[in-house]
């Protein structure tokens, strides 16, 4: 404390040089006391103080610095005869004069006097100052022999109006009540019709102090909801509905009814402001609403969800049919298509399950990705897997063409051959890569029929012929000439291949074309 007091003269000098001239007396009262500035003599001002004890520690300690004073030769007041303790290294009597260049007063709600700065510069040392610091006031007051005049302080008037009658509704919200006196000192009260309190100046009663509610928005997907409020005051209404671009959904309502006019689920959620809190909602972070029972999504999401469900059920059925026919999924591109379809079906089930059971609808971009994957990788079996029986069928078809016979069944294909054309089942398989993680080999694979033709025009069913190899479901054909002479053992070799990426297309017999 002494170290801080030793810095007081320098601090006071800086304040005096900065502020400049001040009135002689500065009287400051806190805790409801009147604030005023006065230039009365110090003794006259001190006589206007209320009776002691004047000040104490209860209000805290306020430090103020007195500016340098001009020479004052007034005698000490008769009722201020208490000797102050050591202050700034000097022991002095309150009201006496001292030659301390600066004086700092410490106390709560003090009175002090100081003179304005002189017009002409004077030497700072040895200025005579009046010791008016009421440091002794901190110790419980100063004894006096002369009574102080009584001082009148301003008082506050109490509102004569009674408090308003109020009650709570079924939600616990404070509302106004109308009360009536009954016999025997009994009182009966009912809720008023308008529920609100009159807070105007002409009101006959004092309304209870109630907090306003904050402005709020829906915490999750705020742009899917429309929030309407009648105000932020107590007992104001809050109404939340879907926007014109969104529709309500519910796990208790079938998906087919979502977004329709006959949807009979929750379409809105209402709340009321109760003393700063929105009843009926959970509020996060002071402004985010969490809804219960109302979930709005866009009409576009609903339509995409319905389309995805339809594609999921249809493609899943077609995949099961293809799997039952035992097509060979050996080619790397065919395996990729099949695995992509299975992956898309898995995501379709997940999105549909979350939507109808948890009311968590995926975004329109995610739904569109699933739909595109289902469409691009759909597996639809058209024929049967290539086999030796399929190759014999195409062999007999060429023989009957020479007889100009239009076959209707497989039995009609059995006829006396004219040009020898013999076919057998063939496979074309090549290794592409090795997957070290799954320790499997990726292949390029296709199967079909290899035929030996004794026709001088080599291979039948070329792309320019009718019918061509496309007529039987094959994707490509290869031809190799062996001999062009009549009567040769073999004139040409013919290969008819299936599509490596779409093995489910298969071989088409006459009855399935």
Determine the straight-line distance between the first and last CA of the chain, rounded to whole angstroms: 110
Q: 457 with 338, same domain?
A: no
What pLDDT digit, counting tens, does each position of 184-228 carry? 888 888 888 888 888 888 888 998 999 999 999 998 899 999 999
What pLDDT digit, counting tens, does each position of 270-314 carry? 999 999 999 988 888 888 888 888 999 999 999 999 999 999 999
Q: What percent of the chain has pLDDT over 70?
A: 65
Does residue 348 form part of some domain?
yes
Q: Where do the H-state alpha helices sit in 222-331?
A: 299-324
Q: 359 with 249, same domain?
A: no
Q: 346 with 239, same domain?
A: no
What pLDDT digit, counting tens, does each position of 123-146 carry? 444 333 333 333 333 333 444 444
Task: Choose one of 376, 399, 417: the last residue of a domain.
Answer: 376
Q: Would you say 354 and 360 are in contact if contact means Cβ atoms under 8 Å apart?
A: yes
Q: 101 with 66, same domain?
A: yes
**pLDDT score of 435:** 86
Q: 430 with 394, same domain?
A: yes
**pLDDT score of 85:** 34
Contacts of 452 (CB under 8 A, 6+ apart): 420, 421, 422, 423, 490, 492, 493, 494
What is the overall mean pLDDT for the chain? 75
Tokens standing for 42? 């110090």
**pLDDT score of 185:** 81
Confidence of residue 486 (pLDDT cuts 50, 70, 90): confident
Q: Would you say 283 and 310 are in contact if contact means Cβ atoms under 8 Å apart?
A: no
Q: 368 with 340, same domain?
A: yes
* Residue 450 backbone dihedrals phi, psi, to 5 degrees: -110, 125
Angle between helices 299-324 and 332-358 (to 10 degrees): 130
DSSP secondary structure of 10-39: HHHHHHHHHH----SEEE---TTPPPEEE-
Domain that holds residue 238: 217-294
Q: Is the pLDDT of residue 106 over 60?
A: no
Q: 490 with 402, same domain?
A: yes
Instruction: Please state, in angstroms and rounded to a whole number, the distance separating the CA atoms of residues 131 and 257.
Output: 92
Domain count, the chain: 4
Higher pLDDT: 37 or 119? It is: 119
Task: Choose one of 120, 139, 158: the last residue of a domain.
Answer: 139
Confidence of residue 410 (pLDDT cuts 50, 70, 90): low
Q: Would you say 88 and 9 are in contact if contact means Cβ atoms under 8 Å apart?
A: yes
Q: 304 with 416, same domain?
A: no
Does residue 172 form part of some domain?
no
Higher pLDDT: 368 or 79? It is: 368
Alpha-carbon radius of gyration of the chain: 52
Q: Would you say 26 and 39 are in contact if contact means Cβ atoms under 8 Å apart?
A: no
Task: Choose one of 294, 321, 348: the last residue of a domain.
Answer: 294
Q: 334 with 306, same domain?
A: yes
Does residue 222 form part of some domain?
yes
Q: 109 with 48, same domain?
A: yes
Beta bridge partners, 441, equal 434
For CA atoms 480, 481, 487, 490, the dihedral sign is negative
Q: 309 with 414, same domain?
A: no
């Amino acid at each position: 404390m002494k170290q801080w007091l030793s810095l007081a003269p320098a601090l006071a000098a800086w304040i005096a040089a900065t502020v400049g001239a001040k009135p002689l007396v500065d009287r400051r009262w806190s805790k409801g006391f009147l604030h005023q500035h006065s230039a009365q003599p110090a003794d006259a001002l001190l006589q206007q103080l209320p009776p002691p004890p004047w000040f104490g520690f209860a209000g805290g300690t306020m430090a103020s610095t007195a500016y340098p004073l001009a020479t004052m030769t007034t005698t000490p007041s008769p009722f201020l005869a208490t000797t102050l303790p050591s202050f700034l290294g000097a022991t002095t009597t309150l009201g006496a004069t001292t030659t301390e260049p600066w004086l700092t007063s410490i106390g709560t709600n003090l009175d002090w006097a100081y003179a304005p700065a002189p017009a002409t510069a004077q030497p700072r040392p040895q200025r005579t100052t009046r010791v008016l610091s009421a440091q002794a006031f901190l110790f419980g007051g100063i004894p006096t022999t002369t009574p102080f005049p009584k001082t009148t302080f301003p008082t506050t008037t109490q509102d004569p109006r009674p408090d308003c009658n109020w009650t709570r509704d079924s939600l616990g919200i404070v509302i106004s009540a109308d009360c009536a006196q009954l016999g025997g000192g009994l009182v009966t009260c009912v809720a008023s019709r308008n529920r609100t309190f009159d807070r105007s100046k002409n009101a006959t009663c004092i309304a209870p102090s109630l907090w306003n509610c904050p402005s709020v928005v829906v915490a999750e997907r705020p742009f899917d909801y429309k929030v309407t409020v009648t105000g932020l005051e107590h007992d104001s209404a809050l109404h939340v509905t879907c926007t014109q671009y969104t529709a309500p959904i519910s796990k208790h309502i079938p998906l087919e009814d979502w977004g329709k006019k006959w949807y009979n689920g929750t379409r809105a959620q209402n709340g009321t402001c109760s003393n700063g809190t929105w009843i009926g909602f959970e509020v996060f972070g002071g402004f985010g609403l969490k809804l219960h029972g109302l979930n709005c999504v866009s009409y576009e999401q609903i339509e995409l969800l319905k389309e995805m469900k339809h594609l999921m059920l249809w493609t899943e059925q077609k995949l099961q049919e293809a799997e039952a026919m035992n097509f060979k999924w050996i080619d790397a591109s065919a395996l990729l298509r099949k695995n992509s379809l299975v992956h898309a079906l898995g995501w379709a089930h997940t999105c549909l399950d979350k939507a109808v059971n948890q009311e968590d609808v995926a975004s329109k971009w995610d739904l569109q990705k699933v739909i595109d994957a289902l469409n691009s990788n759909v597996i639809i079996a058209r024929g049967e897997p290539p086999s030796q029986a399929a190759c014999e069928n195409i062999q007999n078809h060429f023989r009957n063409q020479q007889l100009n016979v239009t076959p209707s069944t497989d039995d009609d294909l059995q006829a006396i051959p004219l040009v020898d054309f013999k076919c057998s089942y063939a496979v074309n398989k090549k290794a592409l890569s090795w997957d070290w993680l799954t320790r499997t080999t990726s292949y390029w694979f296709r199967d079909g029929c290899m035929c030996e033709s004794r026709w001088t025009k080599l291979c039948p069913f070329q792309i320019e012929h009718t019918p061509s190899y496309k007529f039987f479901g094959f994707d490509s054909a290869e031809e190799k000439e062996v001999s062009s002479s009549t009567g040769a053992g073999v004139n040409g070799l013919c290969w008819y291949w299936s599509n490596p990426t779409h093995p489910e297309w298969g071989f088409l017999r006459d009855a399935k074309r």
